[in-house]
Amino acid sequence: MSMITRRYMHTVLLVSLMICSVQGLAQQPVFGRWEGAINLPGMDLGILVEFAPAGDSLKGTIDIPMQMAKGLQLHDVRRQETAIQFALQAGPGVARFEGTLAGDSISGTFAQATVKCPFVLRRAKEVQKSEPPPYKEEEVSITTDSITLAGTLTIPPTAGPHPAAILLTGSGAQTRDEEVAGFQVFRVLADQLTRKGFAVLRCDDRGMGGSTGTYAAATTADFAEDALSQWKFLSGRKDIDASRAGLVGHSEGALAATIACSKDPAIAFAVLLAGPAVRGDSLILGQLERMARMGGAPDSVIAGAILSQQRVFATVRADTGWEALREVLRTEMLKSLDMATPEQRAALGNVDSMVSTRVEFQIQQIKTPWFRKFTSYDPAEDLRRVTCPVLALFGSLDMQVPATQNARVMEQLFRESGNTRTICKIVPGANHLFQIAKTGSPMEYGQLKKEFTPHFVDDIAQWMTDTVSRK
């Protein structure tokens, strides 16, 4: 999910999937964004596809919000009259789509390895162009010892020096706008905060957009160092008041903000949006159970999945027993298919081959430095060391960082540390992206309005204004 475990949601859900692209033109244009889902056994996997012209053909990208994948490049694009085909080489195989264009919808068959399922896409509503913003936008470059971060600094039109906020993205490779399922979370947040008098800096993650470095090799600790580099950069500008500059982190970005604030008490404030307060392995277990129950999995399947997930953590910590883990994952994945109807199982074809492919992909993911660090990191000590004012907001329907669990733990940690300048608040009806939601599931992100809950940004801006005014 923009989303605490973007790199790992496919493992949590025991579903691994790679997707799509397009080639060709016909009389009816297909340029633009399309939203829809792949109807997998037991669940719908939401996708967003965007097509653009490329000479006499098409090019495109796909987002898979549930797997926190964004901007995957499309290839092998074909179109003949109303027939559309597209594919993506990713992970252990090629995923192919064969569909038919009819008005504002594309429907057909998705196929990967032995899996065959229907998919449907519908043309997304066009976003109206807005007037130029009433503030300055400046492209910036921040060079450290190892990488260069590229970003956008938005500056109010009033006289400075200005109070400032640095936006830190959630897990998964993100550009500065933190776009999830078509919702440009940080572009919207930066715009609204700048209109309320704050300079706002947002940067591309390592290896994304204009930033250098390798995202796949980075951990949460590295992102915290990037946050400190951005804060030092702002502190050196004459149009920024360093004594009134703070961090706004979303999901894993809230963890990075916590680590950075624990290291540098000069940071003026921290706004933690859906920030975890429990250890990573505990968070993932909770995600697994909530998503499985929403999908209708029986208790026996959920219990087995939790045991196998605990086996994953033990194997990662010991770095031994990988072959045994493969068998555990294989067994649990086969059990999860018990929920499929006979027709759905028949569509899967060679189940053994499909399961082996998915298990191997999961093994590759859990061997990454990020997963080892994330699952073993407990934010408690860093939260206790934070001395600046903190506003922590949680969505009541958040399925990735559950509000009641994390808000309660965070409040307790601040009480223990003696930091009285903190507020922990649950936003009613909000999901992980702080949209008004129905269930909170990442599967519905693409179907919701691309906007925050009412008064969400107003409350943040007012708290920040009050906090820096007291400075």
Lowest-pLDDT range of 48-57, 143-152, 199-208, 371-380: 48-57
Asked if residue 348 has pLDDT above 70, the reply is: no
Same domain, 117 and 141: no
3-state secondary structure the chain: CCCCCHHHHHHHCCCCCCCCCCCCCCCCCCCEEEEEEEEECCEEEEEEEEEEEECCEEEEEEEEHHHCEEEEECEEEEEECCEEEEEEEECCEEEEEEEEEECCEEEEEEEECCEEEEEEEEECCCCCCCCCCCCEEEEEEEECCCCEEEEEEEECCCCCCEEEEEEECCCCCCCCCCEECCEEHHHHHHHHHHHCCCEEEEECCCCCCCCCCCHHHCCHHHHHHHHHHHHHHHHCCCCEEEEEEEEEEECHHHHHHHHHHHHCCCCCCEEEECCCCCCHHHHHHHHHHHHHHHCCCCHHHHHHHHHHHHHHHHHHHHCCCHHHHHHHHHHHHHHHHHHCCHHHHHHHCCHHHHHHHHHHHHHHHHCCHHHHHHHHCCCHHHHHHCCCCEEEEEECCCCCCCHHHHHHHHHHHHHHHCCCCEEEEEECCECCCCCECCCCCHHHHHHCCCCCCCCHHHHHHHHHHHHHHHC
Asked if residue 447 has pLDDT above 70, the reply is: yes
At 153 the pLDDT is: 98
At 25 the pLDDT is: 33
Task: Give the highest mean pLDDT range of 30-34, 142-146, 189-193, 291-295.
Answer: 189-193
Same domain, 175 and 247: yes
CATH number of the domain bearing residue 153: 3.40.50.1820
Same domain, 264 and 356: no
At 154 the pLDDT is: 98
Say if 285 falls within a structural domain.
no
* Residue range 29-54, pLDDT digits in tens: 788 888 888 877 656 677 889 988 88
pLDDT band at 344 (very low <50, low <70, confident <90, very high): low
Same domain, 393 and 364: no
| pTM (two decimals) | 0.80
Of the residues 369, 388, 419, the one at which a domain ends = 369
pLDDT band at 90 (very low <50, low <70, confident <90, very high): low
* Residue range 416-425, pLDDT digits in tens: 999 999 999 9
Please give the angle made by the CA atoms of 125, 127 and 131, to the nearest 5 degrees.
Answer: 160
Buried b (16+ CB within 10 A) or exposed e, 269-295: bbbbbbbbbbbbbebbbbbbbbbbeeb
* Residue range 236-283, pLDDT digits in tens: 999 999 999 999 999 999 999 999 999 999 999 999 999 999 999 999
Same domain, 108 and 150: no
Q: Which domain holds residue 398?
A: 136-278+378-470
Say if 287 falls within a structural domain.
no
Same domain, 435 and 355: no
pLDDT band at 124 (very low <50, low <70, confident <90, very high): confident
Of the residues 70, 101, 123, the one at which a domain ends = 123
Same domain, 165 and 258: yes
Say if 101 falls within a structural domain.
yes
CATH number of the domain bearing residue 54: 2.40.128.120
Asked if residue 234 has pLDDT above 50, the reply is: yes
Same domain, 215 and 95: no
At 313 the pLDDT is: 95
Say if 396 falls within a structural domain.
yes
Asked if residue 189 has pLDDT above 90, the reply is: yes
At 23 the pLDDT is: 35
Asked if residue 368 has pLDDT above 80, the reply is: yes
| Higher pLDDT among residues 123 and 271, named by residue | 271
Lowest-pLDDT range of 125-139, 241-255, 301-315, 401-415: 125-139
Say if 288 falls within a structural domain.
no
Average pLDDT, integer, range 20-35: 59
At 253 the pLDDT is: 97
Same domain, 260 and 167: yes
At 16 the pLDDT is: 35
Say if 128 falls within a structural domain.
no
Same domain, 319 and 363: yes
Same domain, 221 and 341: no
